[in-house]
Amino acid sequence: MAEDTKHDVVIVGAGFAGIAAAERLSRAGVRVLLLDKNNYHQFQPLLYQVATAQISVADVARPLRGIFRGNKLVDVKTAEVASVNPTDRSVTTVDGMTYRGTILVLAAGAEANFFNTPGAKEHTFPLYSVDDAARLASRMLGALDSADSLPHMVDEGGLNVVVVGGGPTGVETAGAIAESIKYVVSEYFTPEFADICSVYLVDMIPTVLAPFTDKSQKYTKKKLAEIGVKLRLGVGVAEVAPDRVTLADGTVIPCRVVVWAGGLKAGELLTSSGLPQGKGGRIDVNPDLTAPGFDGVYVLGDAANITDAKGNHLPQLGSVAQQAGKWAAKNILADLAGRPREPFHYLDKGIMAMVGRGAAVAEVGVKRRQLQGPIAFAAWLGVHAVLLSGARERLGAFLSWGWDYFTHSRPQIVVYRPDAYASGWNETVQRPAPRGPGGGDAATTDAPSGDTPSKAAASGGDSRSAQA
């Protein structure tokens, strides 16, 4: 086993928390080793817009070495961490390298929680990574093209999309797909073709956006219905098959695309770490964001269960992760200087969710001032643009949003993943994946190189995109 020299701080994961911690520490003169299996930082709240071709991959994925270009104190390594030893604050990668730190920060994110639903892991499309978004986008294109070429596919559910989970991710995804059908499919194919496409939103609880007020929930359900989303609330998912979803009440929805927005859990890395796990397999961290019983080990972002000053669990939001990353860096500086740490204080700026064109809900600040419609829509755009990493990404997103809003044109409609595209065709038909002009596979040039188990979907879905 190869071993690298010891570092001041080793950070695993380049999400909101990991990036924020690395930036803050390096500004204070601390040397940081940043490890991630991808060579880019991805903006998860907008992945559904990549999947529906509203924006491009380049708008949500920024190379890590670009973020830290010229910063000699942050050493970026593209490596997948296979195991963690919290006792000596070391991690070992799949290629056999071991890295040790005076301080270890685990911000490795999470993965989809399928709640032991039969067939969900094999036949659904989560939305937690750039690759997930690329797979979903290609699968939906394959389903549309197959139904256009093979009429019998329509009767077999080829034009149905089921979104599981009524949290912000599920609501935003269902709304975006429905509007793509209404405004884009009708132009790229025909209005008649778009009329027979259906989007279903399923959740075992009887409402959507569970963290929001009744007023926001009612507005959201009304707007989703107006753009054609068929709500199946109060009933969970019993089984997912390649060509259908069976609900707990026996209802069968024929479909060839199922989006899983039903919740998150900690990844295998934490499961095998020896750290004490709580809800969702995440680590119940101390108020100062350290792991109980392991001095010098911090756990942040979707890998942690973080509480506020009153002991209430904070949601898995990008804003929580970003603030926790900055606060952890502050405490790490105290550790290195021999000073006491301080409990994390979260500045609650509110929650928000996009529903559709000109339609969104926002509940701003601790007192949850409610906004709906165009004002909330504009606020959502502004907040997410600010959170994007880099000026080029912000400009690209704004240009894409404007182009889409005024023209209904989607220049990002391309096949990122030929394998997922081909799987959208009837499996009895040997349909080749699309080929590039030179004979190669078509691709884009901007793509970067335990909760309680249940047979139903997770209540409320996940809330990663509901942030202010």
Q: HSE (CB half, 13 Å, CA atoms) of 32?
A: 29
Inform me whether the pLDDT recorded for 213 exceeds 90. yes
pLDDT of residue 451: 38
How many residues belong to the chain? 468
pLDDT of residue 1: 55
pLDDT of residue 331: 98
The two tokens of residue 195 are 């009329």
Q: Which band of pLDDT confidence, cut at 50, 70 and 90, is reported for residue 349? A: confident
pLDDT of residue 448: 39
Q: Which band of pLDDT confidence, cut at 50, 70 and 90, is reported for residue 247? A: very high
pLDDT of residue 22: 98
The two tokens of residue 420 are 């997922």
The two tokens of residue 272 are 């095998």
As a whole number of angstroms, the distance between CA 379 and CA 456 comes to 34
pLDDT of residue 4: 64
| Nearest Cα to Cα of residue 216 among 369, 347, 329 | 369
Q: Which band of pLDDT confidence, cut at 50, 70 and 90, is reported for residue 403? A: low
**Greatest mean pLDDT among 178-192, 305-319, 330-344:** 330-344
Q: What would the mean pLDDT of 344-366 be, rounded to a whole number? A: 91
**Greatest mean pLDDT among 158-172, 304-318, 422-436:** 158-172
Number of neighbours of residue 427 by Cβ within 10 angstroms: 12
The two tokens of residue 287 are 């108020």
Q: What angle do the packed helices 168-180 and 214-226 form, to 10 degrees?
A: 20
Higher local confidence (pLDDT), 133 or 448: 133
Q: What would the mean pLDDT of 80-100 be, rounded to a whole number? A: 96
Active site residue: 122, 172, 179, 268, which one?
A: 172
Q: What would the mean pLDDT of 50-73 be, rounded to a whole number? A: 91
Higher local confidence (pLDDT), 413 or 175: 175
pLDDT of residue 410: 66
pTM to 2 decimals? 0.87
Q: 136-148 burial by CB neighbour count: b if 16+ within 10 A, else e?
A: bbbbbbbbbbbbb
**Greatest mean pLDDT among 268-272, 396-400, 410-414:** 268-272
As a whole number of angstroms, the distance between CA 359 and CA 357 comes to 5
Inform me whether the pLDDT recorded for 108 exceeds 80. yes
pLDDT of residue 455: 36
| 281 Cβ contact partners less than 8 Å away, ≥ 6 residues apart | 265, 266, 270, 271, 450
Active-site residue, 192 included: no
Containing 383, the helix (H) or strand (E) segment is: helix 374-387
The chain-wide mean pLDDT, for the chain, equals: 87
Q: Which band of pLDDT confidence, cut at 50, 70 and 90, is reported for residue 453? A: very low
Q: Which band of pLDDT confidence, cut at 50, 70 and 90, is reported for residue 452? A: very low
Percent above pLDDT 90 for the chain: 67
| 126 Cβ contact partners less than 8 Å away, ≥ 6 residues apart | 111, 112, 132, 259, 260, 261
pLDDT of residue 466: 46
pLDDT of residue 421: 87
Any idea what the Cα angle at residue 42 is, between residues 345 and 417, rounded to 5°? 150
Q: Which residue has the tokens 């919290």?
A: 86
Q: HSE (CB half, 13 Å, CA atoms) of 99?
A: 26
| Nearest Cα to Cα of residue 166 among 236, 116, 110, 215 | 236
Number of neighbours of residue 157 by Cβ within 10 angstroms: 21
| Nearest Cα to Cα of residue 465 among 212, 281, 219 | 212
pLDDT digits (tens, 9 = 90+) for 410-448: 656 777 788 888 887 755 444 444 444 334 433 333 333
Higher local confidence (pLDDT), 459 or 369: 369
| 447 Cβ contact partners less than 8 Å away, ≥ 6 residues apart | 57, 61, 130, 134, 416
DSSP codes joined into one string, 422-437: HHTS-TTS-PPPPB-T
Q: Which band of pLDDT confidence, cut at 50, 70 and 90, is reported for residue 468? A: low
Number of neighbours of residue 210 by Cβ within 10 angstroms: 16
CB 217 within 8 A of CB 207: yes
Q: Is the dihedral of CA 366, 367, 372, 378 positive or negative?
A: negative
As a whole number of angstroms, the distance between CA 445 and CA 324 comes to 34
